[in-house]
A and B are shown apart, each in its own frame.
Chain A
Amino acid sequence: MGSVSVCPHRPIAYIVKLELKNISKSFPGVKALQQVSITFTPGEIHALCGENGAGKSTLMNIISGNLRPDAGDILLDGRKTEIENVLQAEALGIAIVYQERSLTDSLSVAENIYPVHQPRNRYGYIDHKVLHKNASEWLQQFRLTMHAATPVGKLSPSQKTLVEIIKALAKKPRILILDEPTASLTHEEADILFNMIRRLRADHVTVIYISHRMAEIRELADVVTVLKDGIFQGTVPSSTPDREIIRMMVGRELAADTFVSDVTKEVLLEVKELSGNGFEDISFNIYAGEILGFAGLTGCGRTALARTIFGDSRYNAGSISIKQRPYSPRHPANAINAHIAYLPEDRKTEGLFLERSIADNIASVSLSVPCAAYNAGKERETADSYVKELDIRTPSATTPVRKLSGGNQQKVVLAKWLATQPDLMIVNEPTHGVDVGAKTEIYNIMKKLTAAGKGIMMISSELPELLQLADRIAVMWQGKLITILSRKEATEEKLTMLASGL
């Protein structure tokens, strides 16, 4: 081998070819992957693209042993292999770097890099000298200047990402999966990473690289595989024009019946030069009867903005008014008093009391009213009427919410907020993890609200949904509001470009 070995103590691994054959995987109500077949050639940087919900994460979780496929085969060097769990995947030489962190803040960089296979001394105890020496060599390769004994908690987010990547590399993988690794990296750091990945390629390691960023894919990858709605769209050379790839990602037929709301001239919500943690200088209006969509990538500041308007986090500059009255929220209770509702992104951790009944969940907001008497009968009546109106499929309103399907749980969160009679409803990924039937029903509820003169701020990563429902679509990128497009101007291609900062 003429190439430089990536790590000084890394024996040159034998080469492994990974093939996926007709992999399918379903979750309740969602076909996450349908008959996906991909061949990953060793010594190739293979980019994987697709919108949110296209099935990329499911696919990676199957390769790395977190999930088992319902059907289909995984072939390693032509041999059919069952990957039952993460440990087995690691033993086979498959390493994955997730977007979420797997580091322990209180332990040192060196200890984090070697969580399992620490070097031992001759008595069988951990050899801290060798541990730190090995870790330091890795850090040098990434031109990281911190000491290997530094606790991870003291590192910056981008340094943490690099340590996360080193941790995967230290396992000497033959197949390395990276999930949007550059999301929090600077240009220089990304360049170092790219060089490292190229050296891995020279060592015939298979690199699977998930990314939204077109420029990056063209610079780094050899080939690009596109997934859409869990279906394989094709593998093309990375020199393929961006437009072409984006079309493969989003090019579905637009839902025929775009919804036209009765937008009025009355300003419902006015946000002026608002700045806070995660967004900067945001100004927009929402009119009564309007749905204003918000497009953007993860971390672009949409959720932070929504939370601030709802009073869940503070802002440091700017002003908000609702119905021409100044409004300065300090707690969600203020927002509820101003008739604002917030359907959160993650219903399980932020929206629901899973162990409590549907009726209790729907009544939960009314509890914030100071010292009201609690009326179980009335609570039950309200719940029954919403169960009927929103068609929540459940044996009874006393059933714990935990037992419902995703779509029905989402309807409970909606019911909880509808019961407060809001003027402005902020919805964050309203149809996330919800089956098609429930999706349509949720859309219908939103349409009904606008018909009644309410306003909706709709954050969604599903572009077709935005194009179908929103009257105007605001695009955010890195904390800034780039532009607001009318529905006529907006296309999936345009939105994807703007959201990626292109």
Chain B
Amino acid sequence: MNIKNSLTDRVFTLGSSIVVLCVVMTIAFPSKFATVDNFSQLLLNLSIDTIVAVGMMILMIAGMFDLSVGSIVAFAGGMAGYLMYYHGIPVALAISAGMLGAVGIGFINGWLIARVGINPMIQTLAMMGIVRGFALMLSGAGIQNFPYDFIVIGQSRLLGLQMPVWYMIAIVLLFAFLVKNTSFFRRYYFIGGNERAARLSGINVEKMKVWAFVISATLAGVAGILLSSRLGAALSTSGRGLELRVITAVILGGASLSGGYGKIWGAFLGALFMALINNLLILSRVSGYWQEIILGVILIVAVGVDQLILKKIEK
């Protein structure tokens, strides 16, 4: 790979920035940053975002996005919690019901967007509100006191890392492999690149779009179950603002709003980068208000520099 390609490959540039950031932080906060505690906490914090970001990356490769994922996170957790707490439904069944709800929401989104032709932004914006409403109904002021079998999913540890981190690693590895090596997922690059040409190449674009929303919503459902298990509570406010954070991570990770670009690793690196910035601000005792300002600036700089490099290369 030559320099030109590396400069335009976001996984490379973002990966390098992360390495630089880690080195700087290790030097700046020798006793605080490079500790097992800080790292396991950092990974735990980014696990939920990353799992959702993987699904968002697939959508954005196909040239779409889903604003309802944050609400789905709250809904899936709320649904499972509601059934367990109020109706004593067994843990496995309650989780299945939460997941089924998530899948159903994804299917409705995908079907209305692909078959009826509603714009993804409008459809998922509406769904964001609708699902958040249902989540409020289910969990009200919050549900607590879950059975042990449910708590253990998100709170146990393996090799010193909490389970959500392992789920995140498994999901990233699985989808990175699938997106690279199966023709099913490769189709999304072609749909995002040129939808008309994709159809004329025999790809069933509508069906693939429905699947993309189902996959994304399913991952959001997984994230919701993990989050409520980890917190030991189902909150109606879970995942509020998550959708925009995840879209930011995915764009930092190399996706483009017009579609056709992006890698699953980019979604992970984007989320990791944002978590590191967050960590940096906390360690340096900067007010939390600065976090969003700084992330906004970083997003503009990253995308702006990319455009400038592209223009230079094209000349």
Contact = CB atoms under 8 A, between A and B. Distances in A.
B196 A356 contact: no
B30 interface: no
Interface in A347-374: 349-356, 360, 364-369, 371-374
Interface stretch (B75-83, B180-188, B220-228): B180-188
A234 B172 CA distance: 69
A332 B200 contact: yes
Contact of B260 (A344, A350, A352, A355): A355
B150 interface: no
A189 interface: no
Interface in B116-175: none
Given A355-B260, A356-B260, A373-B183, A368 B201 contact: yes
Nearest to A336: B202
Contacts of A365: 201-202
B145 to A, nearest CB: 44
A416 B201 contact: yes
Given A364-B198, A367-B186, A369-B183, A353 B260 contact: yes
B181 A373 contact: yes
B200 A342 contact: yes
B199 A367 contact: no
Interface string B179-209: 0111110110110011011111111100000
B154 to A, nearest CB: 33
A450 B56 CA distance: 47
A331 interface: yes
A16 B102 CA distance: 70
A233 B61 CA distance: 52
A367 B194 contact: no
Contact of B203 (A352, A354, A367, A372): A367
Pick from B190, B196, B198, B202 the residue with the most CB of A within 10 Å: B202
Nearest to A379: B186
A368 B197 contact: no
B193 A367 contact: no
A367 B184 CA distance: 7
A418 to B, nearest CB: 14
A332 B202 contact: yes
A147 B165 CA distance: 66
A366 B193 contact: no
B183 A367 contact: yes
Contacts of A373: 181-183
Contacts of B187: 367-368
A351 B201 CA distance: 8
A371 B182 contact: yes
A312 interface: yes
Contacts of B180: 374
A379 to B, nearest CB: 10
A44 B198 CA distance: 49
Interface string A112-145: 0000000000000000000000000000000000
Nearest to B194: A353
Pick from B186, B187, B200, B261 the residue with the most CB of A within 10 Å: B200
B201 A367 contact: yes
A333 B202 contact: yes
Interface string B242-268: 000000000000000000110000000
A353 B202 contact: no
A416 B71 CA distance: 42
A262 B235 CA distance: 75
A312 B200 contact: yes
Contacts of B201: 332, 336, 364-365, 367-368, 416
B183 A374 contact: yes
A409 B197 CA distance: 14
Interface in A308-351: 310, 312, 331-333, 335-336, 342, 344, 349-351
Contacts of B197: 349-353, 364
Contacts of B189: 353, 356, 360
A354 B194 contact: yes
B182 A374 contact: yes
A355 B193 contact: yes
A416 B193 CA distance: 16
Interface in B84-112: none
Contacts of A367: 183, 186-187, 190, 201-203
Contacts of A366: 183
Pick from B201, B260, B261 the residue with the most CB of A within 10 Å: B201
A360 B260 CA distance: 12
Contacts of B183: 366-367, 369, 371-374
A342 to B, nearest CB: 6
A366 B203 CA distance: 9
A372 B186 CA distance: 10
B315 to A, nearest CB: 13
B181 A374 contact: yes
Contacts of B194: 349, 352-354
A349 B201 CA distance: 12
Nearest to A369: B183
B200 A356 contact: no
A333 to B, nearest CB: 4
Interface string A407-418: 000000000100
A350 B196 contact: yes
Nearest to A416: B201
B193 A312 contact: no
Contact of A353 (B181, B193, B204): B193
B200 A331 contact: no
Contacts of B198: 353, 364
A416 B184 CA distance: 18
Contact of B190 (A310, A335, A364, A371): A364
Interface of A: 310, 312, 331-333, 335-336, 342, 344, 349-356, 360, 364-369, 371-374, 416
8 contacts: A312-B199, A332-B201, A353-B190, A353-B193, A365-B201, A366-B183, A373-B182, A374-B186
Closest 6 interchain pairs by CB?
Answer: A368-B202, A353-B193, A333-B202, A336-B202, A364-B201, A367-B183
Given A356-B190, A368-B201, A373-B183, 17 more contacts: A332-B202, A333-B202, A333-B203, A349-B194, A350-B197, A352-B197, A353-B194, A353-B197, A355-B260, A360-B189, A365-B201, A367-B183, A368-B203, A368-B204, A371-B184, A372-B182, A374-B186
